[in-house]
Each structure stands twice: as structure tokens, then as C-alpha cells.
Amino acid sequence: MARDRKPSRSRRPSRSRQLSGSRRARFALLSVATLTIGSTALVEVPVSAAAKPKGHDVSSHQKNVNWSKAKSKGAKFVYVKATESHTYRNPYYGQQYHGARNAGLVRGAYHFALPHKSSGRTQAAYFVRNGGGWRADGWTLPPALDIEYNPYGKKKCYGLSKAKMVGWIKSFSNEVKRQTGRRPVIYTTTHWWKNCTGNSSAFASNHALWLARYSSSAGALPASWRTWTFWQYDNGGSLPGDQNLFNGSMSRLKKFAKG
């Protein structure tokens, strides 16, 4: 996702989901093949998805967003980073989340997971307390969990076994569902999902998929998901932050938001 500043003592930058700017450099360190992302940024919306509602995701890296300008460039929805781990809150969250709604965008909040820092339940509770809520108003997307390769260390699956990673995600999901009434959307890459969960099929039946793949097509999906709900197809473009599409019409997007 769009990068943030690191929330703890270190000055090293953190990201919200994939990258922004130097994000592509970080992906290169993980190897291009690893993330199944194309070697060059896409300039246009993929032809196969050009008619779908266009959106984006932002974090503190984007600071105060000009929402009227984003809307004029075609933005229909946005996900805003709220939290990371159990200690960090996006300082621009209010301007971004409420500003998007005031401009007429459907918006939602996401949490960047650091599963080695605390339990899924702990991070979910922190997320909901700090912006990760939901209500059935047709303008609020369900909370989203951003789970991907560790940007801070060599243990790319955070030192968790595949079984423990699946358990962590279940714990996060159950707490979000308990507090908000919705299961979180899961943001990930197919490669991460295979490597770090063993390609678990435990979530596809009741969790919407937000797939990250920088290419002209979404490509192969993680186990048991038959389709993507959101697709992050590039980390830069006409909208602030990462570029995304919703897999349906605008009326379907509003219906998905309402639950």
C-alpha cells in the first residue's frame, strides 16, 4: 500500500500496504517473481477492467488529500489507513477519511498487520477503536486487513508458521466481526498467501478479496477465491496513492458497502 512513516522509535519508513514511490524498490528486494508484479508501472487502467469503478488507497504518505480533485479525476471509492500493529495511528486519518466522504466518495478504513507484535484480536480491537468501524449507510466500506510481506525484517512471514498465521488472521477477523458486524476485506498478494498461509482456503467463503498485482490482469487468485472484489493494479497514477478497481458496478459497490 501507500507508505507511511514508521510508527515506532526507528526512523525507517513503514508502508501501509504495498509501496509508494520507493515501494517498487522494496518489491525488487523481495524479487519481482515473488510478488507477481510487472516490472513497469501501468499508465492506464487495464483495458479488461476500464468500465469498473475506480478508486485508490492512501496513508499518511499522502498527507492532506485534495478530495474534490480526486473525485474530478474519477475516484469513486477509497480505503484510508487507520492503524498499524497496536501502537500506530495515521495522523491524517481524519482529513482523509471524513474528507473523502464529504466529497462524495465511498470510503473505508484498513489496518496494516504486524502479526509478530501482538495477537490478531489485540490489533483488531485497536483498529476498531481508532477508525476501523463500519455502519450500514452505503458509504462505509467494510474494514480491511492489509497482510503482506514484513517490510521491517528478514522474516517475511513475521516468524509465524503457516498454521499460526492462519490462526492470527482468524483471530483478527473474529474480533472485527464481533465489534462491527462485518468480516474484514483481506488485502494480500497470491504469492504471500501461498508462502505464509500455505494457500489456506479457510477465508474465501466469507471474506472479500482485495488482490494486489501490478499487471494488466489480476492473474491467479489465492486458494478458493473465485473472484476479486478489489484489485490494486498499480502503485501510482491519476489518483493519490495506489490505484484500485472494484469488481462490479457503482450500484453494486454501494450495495457491498451497505452489507
CA distance 139 to 137: 5
What is the predicted pLDDT for the residue at 206? 98
β-bridge pairing 106-112 and 185-188? unpaired
CA distance 140 to 68: 18
- Under the banding of pLDDT at 50, 70 and 90, the label for residue 4 is low
Q: Within 13 Å and on the Cβ side, how many CA atoms surround 26?
A: 23
125 φ/ψ angles, rounded to the nearest 5 degrees: -65, -40
Task: Indicate the pTM of the whole model.
Answer: 0.86
What is the predicted pLDDT for the residue at 214? 96
Q: Residues 36-88: pLDDT tens digits?
A: 333 345 547 887 677 899 999 999 999 999 999 999 999 999 999 999 999 99
- Under the banding of pLDDT at 50, 70 and 90, the label for residue 3 is very low
Total Cβ atoms within 10 A of residue 97: 22
Beta-ladder partners of 55: 77, 244
Rounded average pLDDT over 13-19? 38
Q: Among residues 219, 257, 244, 211, which one has the least CA distance to residue 53?
A: 244
Burial class (CB in 10 A: 0-12, 13-18, 19+), 208: buried
- pLDDT over 50 at 15, yes or no: no
CA distance 135 to 142: 8
Q: Under a CB-based contact definition with an 8 Å cutoff, are residues 151 and 145 in contact?
A: no
Rounded average pLDDT over 127-146? 98
Helix H or strand E segment including 176:
helix 162-180
Position with higher pLDDT, 125 vs 43: 125
- pLDDT over 90 at 23, yes or no: no
- pLDDT over 50 at 158, yes or no: yes
β-bridge pairing 106-112 and 75-84? parallel
What is the predicted pLDDT for the residue at 42? 54
The answer for residues whose C-beta is within 8 angstroms of residue 57's C-beta and 6 or more apart is 1, 2, 16, 17, 78, 79, 80, 81, 110, 232, 241, 242, 244
- pLDDT over 90 at 18, yes or no: no
- pLDDT over 50 at 22, yes or no: no
Helix H or strand E segment including 126:
helix 120-129
What is the predicted pLDDT for the residue at 175? 98
Rounded average pLDDT over 172-179? 98
Residues designated catalytic:
57, 146, 148
- pLDDT over 90 at 138, yes or no: yes
What is the predicted pLDDT for the residue at 134? 98
- The amino acid that residue 37 corresponds to is I
What is the predicted pLDDT for the residue at 155? 96
What is the predicted pLDDT for the residue at 45? 82
